[in-house]
Amino acid sequence: MDFDNQDDINDFEEEFSPLSVENAEDRLILMHKDAHFGGNFEQMLLYYASEGKGVQEEIDLKRIRELASIENERKIDLSKTLLSDGDRAQISKIHNAYVSLRELYEIENPKTKIPRLLADLILSEDEDPVSEIDAIAALKDQIVPQLLELLNSESMSDPLYPGYGFAPELAARCLAKIGDKRAIISLFEAIGSKDIYTDEASLMGLKAIGEPAKRFLMGVLRGKPLSWDNVRAATALIHFHEDPEVATTALNMLFESDTLKNLPLASELLLICEGLKDPLDRERFQQLALEPAFPKDLKFDHSYLAKQWV
């Protein structure tokens, strides 16, 4: 694009500066367009109009149309004009990732079976790719290492990469279906580190693994000094609350002063106590609210739970 004078340049930069907070959405739109739609606004508009799987909530369809119109009227490539060298380098990496996945379909041999199944999962446009998950789960322990790698991948958590950021969640769902204990640590570490969908899939995965996962989580829950790991373990153990050992351990910890000072942990332990069955344990639970150190913020939840047993 040619500018007639410095004022034109200044006006353009003011309107589209990639460093401007006001234009953060514009940068996201351009990155998303170049990453998934070959730099083509028309394809992006069609995809967003049809509400495809990769639609980003932060992106307004109206703004896509506006940028497409500006690009067409001014006869410029907004991405080349506005995106930084770092942005373009990232787009290049994303394109290479797409190429690597698609190359798997060009040659069929035993070595590409597992990578192709993972590519099917990542590239699926289905909101709930059940058939792809079932095909992967059918391989059981053979595919666990590759699923763990996908679950732990930072780049595949990025909505700009193939899979729109859903790949780790889908990997967790596959691991839940397989139920292999090798996944315990990775599923645990995924809790609270990615997104709510991966969280839920990871929690379901730990529950599916069963006793080995419970033993691991109980060890972490009892660990000292208290940290974010204790909270994550308690969150996961809510799904094991029907187990008497889990529920009683949660109750006992709620009588410890350092636990009550940790509101997030105490809140999760309170939820686990829903599984208390022993009348004496339930009576002890009732007494919790009388403890001087019991947090005021938890009294409503405590009262609500206690009333369920009346």
Q: Give burial (CB, 10 Å; 0-12/13-18/19+) of 158.
A: middle
Q: What are phi and psi of 33, to 5 degrees?
A: -60, -45
Query: What is residue 4's predicted lDDT score, i.e. its pLDDT?
Result: 54
Q: Give burial (CB, 10 Å; 0-12/13-18/19+) of 119.
A: buried
Query: What is residue 136's predicted lDDT score, i.e. its pLDDT?
Result: 98
pLDDT tens sequence across 23-79: 788 999 999 999 999 999 999 999 999 999 999 999 999 999 999 998 898 888 999
pLDDT tens sequence across 156-175: 999 999 999 999 999 999 99
Q: Is 90 exceeded by the pLDDT of residue 193?
A: no
Q: Is 70 exceeded by the pLDDT of residue 10?
A: no
Q: Which two structure tokens, joined as six digits, stand for 175?
A: 């691991």
Average pLDDT, integer, range 2-31: 63
CA angle (118, 193, 190) in 5-degree steps: 50
Band the pLDDT of 14: cuts 50, 70, 90. low
User: Which ranges of 83-183 does DSSP label H, i.e. alpha helix?
Assistant: 85-103, 113-123, 130-137, 144-151, 167-178
CA dist 135 → 107, 109, 132, 139 (Å): 19, 17, 5, 7
Measured CA to CA, the distance from residue 130 to residue 197 in angstroms comes to: 16
Average pLDDT, integer, range 216-233: 97
Average pLDDT, integer, range 176-194: 94
Q: Is 80 exceeded by the pLDDT of residue 149?
A: yes
Question: What is the residue-wise DSSP string for 182-215?
Answer: GGHHHHHHHTTTS-HHHHHHHHHHHHHH-HHHHH
Measured CA to CA, the distance from residue 97 to residue 109 in angstroms comes to: 20
pLDDT tens sequence across 66-118: 999 988 988 889 998 888 899 999 999 999 999 999 999 988 787 889 999 99
pTM: 0.87
Q: Does the CA dihedral 139-142-146-151 come out positive or negative? A: positive
Closest to 276 in 3D by CA, of 238, 307, 242? 242
Query: What is residue 23's predicted lDDT score, i.e. its pLDDT?
Result: 78
Q: Give burial (CB, 10 Å; 0-12/13-18/19+) of 265.
A: buried
Q: What are phi and psi of 36, to 5 degrees?
A: -110, -15
What residue spans define the domains of the chain? 6-83, 97-205, 211-307
